Structure 1
Amino acid sequence: MSKINIFWFRRDLRFYDNTALSYALKENSPVLPIFIFDKNILDRLEEKNDARVSFIHDQISQMNDQLVAVGSGIKTFYSTPREVFERISKEFEIESVFTNRDYEPYAIKRDNEVEALLSSRGIGFYPFKDHVIFEKEEITSGNGTFYKVFTPYSRVWRDKFQSNPPILQGDALTQKNWSQTDEQVISLKEMGFEKSSIEIPTKDLDKEVIKKYSDQRDYPALDATSRLGVHLRFGTISIRKLALETGKLNSTFLNELIWRDFYAMILANNPHVTEKAFKPQYDEIPWRQDEEGFQKWCDGMTGYPIVDAGMRQLNETGYMHNRVRMIVASFLTKHLLIDWRWGEAYFAKKLLDFDLASNNGGWQWAAGTGTDAQPYFRVFNPASQTEKFDRELKYIKKWIPEYGTDSYPDPIVDHKFARLRAIDTYKKALA
């Protein structure tokens, strides 16, 4: 039996500029790519028509077709990573496993287990940086510690990016070192899933949108954001290529990509943020256990139109405009004084572009518990946000057809009362 190398696809579903894949293909032994539909993750999903699973499956199927055309294919599994590597290490003579790093606590635990298993069988495990531009300890302050505040982090990030721009790897499909195989991708039905009807945005970059991004990004009625979040989440586009292309077009857009690296760095250095506040004293806030209010927020029935429009957009499309994400998160944590973790979990369930680091970072920012936290006494006013960003109510009327009629509910809480209650509650908890 001749030796092979394994490439393990995860959050990097592309051939172009795929770091670990390009290194694997430079080795002497041919490369067998695999993808694991991980039971540890998928079995926790409530919806069996989850749009993200459909998207991953479509992408893997397309990539497999491209590999079949050159005499190879992606070997797919519906199992746990440990079981897969126990099985294939007996089936093949594996020299090494190549993959790209992930910074989420589950992923780190998974990779440590897999590496230990492979090591016990004399198989190398080689993870590479790919999902971010700068990772855990690459951007540090003068004393060598990670940045806890975004602005100084972003300055160092930009300096490093400009002085040492990333080098793009080519298209792995043009390489010859693929293992000769013929694979059928496991079907959604075999895994107990079905195809989602939710539409996935294109991964094509609209340069005109990027050029106007600074001026138009805050207006939810406009189609003025890139909608590339889901593609960055699953790595169907290269973060390095996107940053190089857009950095010259719009500094504000590049800043959003820096935020993405920042939150990934925060999670990698502070895994406790998945369960607790980044700033420990904020765990003293006595959140209200208001299940009825939370459900109205989830359903887009709070009586605050900009909040409800956002939640209905999310529920129907798996997407919510970024400005509105801040408004609805502020409303849940400040107006209703409901634990940010409830909102974070709901977004995790619904967002196509759900990314643990960015979702957690955004929610903790809104709640005032995280890095670069807005002061707790700053409470977004939904009415003034509407006046600024949806003055003609185009966004609101699109998602709330009954707006302005008796069918639309009254506000579930008074803004002035809620604002003062939030400030008072935070102040007492932090005293």
Structure 2
Amino acid sequence: MTTIVWFRQDLRLTDNPALSEAFADGPVLPLYILETPEQAGETHPMTGASRWWLHHSLKALRRDLGCLIIMEGPAEAALARAVEQSGARAIHWNRCYEPHAIARDKRLKAKFSAEGLSVRSFNASLLHEPWELETKTGGPFKVYSPFWRAAQLRPVPAPLPRPGGELVLPDGLGRPLDEFALTPSRPDWAAGWRDLWQPGEAGAVERLAAFLDENLKGYGELRNRPDLPNVSRLSPHLRFGEISPRQILAATRLHTDLHPEQAKDGDKFLSEIGWREFAYHLLYHFPDLPAKNWKPTFDAYPWRESAEDLAAWQKGMTGYPMVDAGMRELWATGYMHNRVRMLVASFLIKHLRIDWRHGEAWFRDTLLDADLANNSASWQWVAGSGADAAPYFRIFAPVGQGQKFDPDGVYVRRWCPELARLPNEVLHAPFEAPDRMLKAAGVVLGKTYPRPIVDHAAARAAAMAGYEAVKIAGGNAAE
């Protein structure tokens, strides 16, 4: 029996249950469907940077499989055509958890099942399904720590081996990948990314192995240092399903069994996988997470509208070097160190008092690992409006963060080269440097590097005043 395997966010062969089960039943037609946001019903679609990665990930999957049929949406019409031309009697896919995907998949499963096809879906993206974990009183978790403790008590299946079998390729079905124009051309702002990244399953496996062998040691502390290599950089690979959380869990546990002195570092690394699981848990149970404040009282926050300040933040021209370095790293590489992500998010929300949804949209456009669940949950966490959120009074000081986590200025000098000649003691606050130091370093504030667009102390006071409106709204809601 021929089975259509509809690839989505699972662009790999190993530990791919939909593919393994399909090959066990007979020939497989491997299919990827490109839908427009309107066709898919998406309100938060994949954009710029993610589309670049998708192109190269599909190219790698096609190479690994030997072939891959790529069709245009809508998914219902594409699947119907594939069924008709192949004579397939079954459709398999691995589950997606975005609200629009859940609604679409339910509709498609009902339609094709009613037509006599076997339609099966599987978990390939998470350690546990979002509905499998509940609090002791029932209902979803709303705090990360008890969620992750509960998740660790549940067994996780071992990763599936890479399957193989016969492929079915009907004539005239699908179009060449290059015709879909997923990569930029005029201008090609991603020109240097091929030297930085290796999209695809092989790249994901190599990245994980290199991280465990070279950079896991000391991860618990050093992961906060953007000037050091102690991060996995697996997030884009996870985003597109080129590697599964089960594979990461199994490989990390094997490594720490062999190197027990790194067990705590391994646990800390896996807790980051746990945060991803928690984000999906939240998105599944609270589908408005990407668009609405999880805590409704935050609707009372008095956001500012400033296109000028938003643009300065986006371009890395705020006058705070650690913030600017992060935003420039993002633009140049499609990635930003996680510690710096928290800082730049805090700066946008709490220094500039610009709605977190503007930041979520910018990250979704520029991050290679833009993941609706992670992105939304993390922005709301920083804002204080989300589940298990950071306390509203926690406002990162950009200068202090730079001095603490980039003490030698390696990160800032890399991404803000106009400041490279400043000594460490003033590098993270050039606006406080004596004129002689600025002159010796060739820095002219307001010309070669911007003055701060906001004063830290004044911004903190304004943010706290804004949060008073939230507290008042919360009190009124309690009444």
Query: For structure 1, which segment, 279-288 or 305-314, has the greater mean C-alpha deviation from structure 2 after superposition?
Result: 279-288
Distance in 2, Cα, partners of 1:91 & 1:304: 59
Distance in 1, Cα, partners of 2:280 & 2:129: 7
Summarize the alignment of residues 150-169 of structure 1 with structure 2, pairs less than 5 Å apart: 150-160=144-154, 164-169=155-160
Distance in 2, Cα, partners of 1:252 & 1:193: 35
Distance in 2, Cα, partners of 1:269 & 1:214: 30
Given candidates 416, 434, 452, the residue that maps to 1:411 is 452
Q: CA deviation at 1:33?
A: 1.2
**Residue 90 of structure 1 aligns with which residue?**
84
Distance in 1, Cα, partners of 2:468 & 2:252: 42
CA contact (8 A) 1:12 1:18 kept: yes
**Residue 466 of structure 2 aligns with which residue?**
425
Summarize the alignment of residues 277-288 of structure 1 with structure 2, pairs less than 5 Å apart: 277-288=293-304
Does 2:413 match 1:397? yes
Summarize the alignment of residues 79-158 of structure 1 with structure 2, pairs less than 5 Å apart: 79-158=73-152
Summarize the alignment of residues 105-254 of structure 1 with structure 2, pairs less than 5 Å apart: 105-160=99-154, 164-172=155-163, 175-179=164-168, 186-194=175-183, 196-197=190-191, 198-199=193-194, 200-201=197-198, 202-203=203-204, 204=206, 205=208, 206=210, 207=212, 208-247=214-253, 248=256, 249=263, 250-254=266-270
3-state SS of paired residue (2:230): coil
Q: CA deviation at 1:42?
A: 10
Number of residue equivalences: 419
CA contact (8 A) 1:49 1:194 kept: no
Unmatched segments (≥5 aa) in structure 1: none
CA contact (8 A) 2:295 2:386 kept: yes
**Which residue identity does 2:278 align to in structure 1?**
F
Please give the per-residue CA displacement for 1:285-317, whole angstroms capped at 9, x wherever unaligned: 121111111110000011111111000000111
**Residue 290 of structure 1 aligns with which residue?**
306
Q: CA deviation at 1:30?
A: 2.0
Q: 1:391/1:106 Cα in 2 relative to 1: closer, same or farther (>3 Å)?
A: same
Q: 1:87/1:180 Cα in 2 relative to 1: closer, same or farther (>3 Å)?
A: closer
Query: For structure 1, which segment, 395-404 or 351-360, has the greater mean C-alpha deviation from structure 2 after superposition?
Result: 395-404
CA contact (8 A) 1:60 1:185 kept: no
Q: CA deviation at 1:251?
A: 0.8
Please give the per-residue CA displacement for 1:33-68, whole angstroms capped at 9, x wherever unaligned: 1111223389999x9994433433333333333433
**Which residue identity does 2:379 align to in structure 1?**
W
Q: CA deviation at 1:238?
A: 2.1
Given candidates 363, 368, 371, the residue that maps to 1:355 is 371
**Residue 427 of structure 2 aligns with which residue?**
none
Q: 1:156/1:49 Cα in 2 relative to 1: closer, same or farther (>3 Å)?
A: closer
Given candidates 268, 285, 295, the residue that maps to 2:284 is 268
- C-alpha RMSD of the superposition: 2.5
Q: 1:318/1:423 Cα in 2 relative to 1: closer, same or farther (>3 Å)?
A: same
Does 2:19 match 1:21? yes
Q: 1:312/1:41 Cα in 2 relative to 1: closer, same or farther (>3 Å)?
A: farther
Distance in 2, Cα, partners of 1:393 & 1:399: 10
Q: 1:41/1:257 Cα in 2 relative to 1: closer, same or farther (>3 Å)?
A: farther
Q: CA deviation at 1:334?
A: 0.4
Q: CA deviation at 1:254?
A: 0.5
CA contact (8 A) 1:101 1:129 kept: yes
CA contact (8 A) 1:82 1:113 kept: no
Distance in 1, Cα, partners of 2:392 & 2:334: 29
CA contact (8 A) 2:49 2:366 kept: no
Q: CA deviation at 1:213?
A: 1.2
Summarize the alignment of residues 276-355 of structure 1 with structure 2, pairs less than 5 Å apart: 276-355=292-371
3-state SS of paired residue (1:231): helix
Unmatched segments (≥5 aa) in structure 2: 185-189, 257-262, 420-429, 431-442, 473-479
